[in-house]
Amino acid sequence: MKATFKKYLLQFKRPGGTSRGVLKTKETWFLTLENDGKIGVGECGLFRGLSHDDVPGFEAKCQWVADHIHLGLERLLTELMDFPSLQFGLEQAFLSFQSQHPFALFDSPFLREEAPIPINGLIWMGDTGFMKSQIDEKLEQGFSCLKLKIGAIDFTEELRLLETLRNHFSPDEIELRVDANGAFAPEDALDKLKGLAPYQIHSIEQPIKQGQWELMRALCEASPLPIALDEELIGVTHVTKKEELLQMIQPQYIILKPSLVGGFGSGEEWIGLAEKYNIGWWVTSALESNIGLNAIAQWTATLGSKMPQGLGTGALFSNNIESPLYVAQGGLHYDKSKKWNMEPINEICI
């Protein structure tokens, strides 16, 4: 079996604002397995500045994987504990290689019966007018769950935006989630959470920077709205450490991004621990191309969660891989009548 890695730069249609800065491009890596004319494709969704494996030796590790693909999936996953995006890409590529179709990885109603997965509509940071225009667009598209990136503009302006939404839509009509991406300072985080509480927010993701377990635990205990851990899970690779984190912080939710937490096996390990401690969870993509998004969606569809998932990022890029995935009426759909555009995939990967 031959393994090949190729880098691909995804271009945002319009810049995406977060508390860490404005995103214009997103680097990703495609892994292709080939043997006797049969191929398998996976995406290693490296996220610069965020991924645990955003290290100087990443490209060298890709080459090491290609040179040692004969070791097999289980051995490679063990060797790559500190390279979660590579673990994720390998899982996909081996599933793809073993499948009758390279992009049919998991049997589920989503793939088989075209049953949509409910998702949240993502609202990027920007000035008030820009954020309001995105909200109007998502509401017109039929979303009943919105996730707003917060923490980069004036907090009072963000509260006004939430107040406007709540004046028009009750929690029964629109579920509101917010994502601070660690933007709040520990000394005023609780005050900001109290400021958000009147707007009946479903949850806030990562209010303070990761790695401050005692401070995060205190916030989870005192917060008037549920807290979801996101970046906090990055780099926590061993099951004992995962359990220690959940026991220590006791969050209300965790958010699983397979590219950042080490793929499906690691994600299911997190889910098992979360359910052991009565912690809720949902799955989110991390700006992968449609190749990675497709894999995440198919996996998510097998997990039985009824909550809106964070899988609406496929339309963000001008040069994404054309696929059967599409978003309509607040759900991610898979149109079996539409084919994958294999030509650019072949050019990229082979």
DSSP-derived secondary structure for 145-190: EEEEE-SSS-HHHHHHHHHHHHHH--TTT-EEEEE-TTBS-TTTHH
Given 26, 138, 242, 257, the catalytic residue: 257
38 is catalytic: no
Residue intervals in the chain for CATH 3.20.20.120:
109-340
Does 40 or 350 have the greater pLDDT score? 40
Dihedral sign (CA 16, 17, 18, 21):
positive
Of 120, 126, 123, which is closest to residue 21 (Cα–Cα)? 126
Least confident of 81-90, 127-136, 158-167: 127-136
Predicted confidence at residue 350, as pLDDT, reads 47
CATH superfamily of 109-340: Enolase-like C-terminal domain (3.20.20.120)
Please state, in angstroms and rounded to a whole number, the distance separating the CA atoms of residues 303 and 269. 12
| Catalytic pick among 26, 149, 192, 242 | 149
- Please tell me the distance from the alpha carbon of residue 222 to that of residue 98, in angstroms, as a whole number: 48
Tell me the CB-side half-sphere exposure of residue 205, using CA atoms within 13 A: 24
* Averaged pLDDT for residues 217-223: 98
Q: State mean pLDDT over 23-46.
A: 94
pTM of the model: 0.94
Task: Please say if the pLDDT value at position 347 is more than 70.
Answer: no
Superfamily of domain 2-103+344-349: Enolase-like, N-terminal domain (3.30.390.10)
**Residue intervals in the chain for CATH 3.30.390.10:** 2-103+344-349
What pLDDT, on the 0 to 100 scale, is given for residue 22? 78
Find, among 266, 188, 201, the residue nearest to 227 by Cα: 201
pLDDT of residue 126: 78
Q: Closest by alpha carbon to 33, among 80, 95, 85?
A: 95
Point out the least confidently predicted range of 13-17, 101-105, 187-191, 283-287.
Answer: 13-17
> pLDDT for 61-86, tens place per residue?
999 999 999 999 999 999 999 999 99
Task: Identify any residues that bridge with 325 across adjacent strands, giving them in sequence order.
Answer: 334
- Confidence bin at 102 (pLDDT 50/70/90): very high
Is 257 assigned a catalytic role? yes
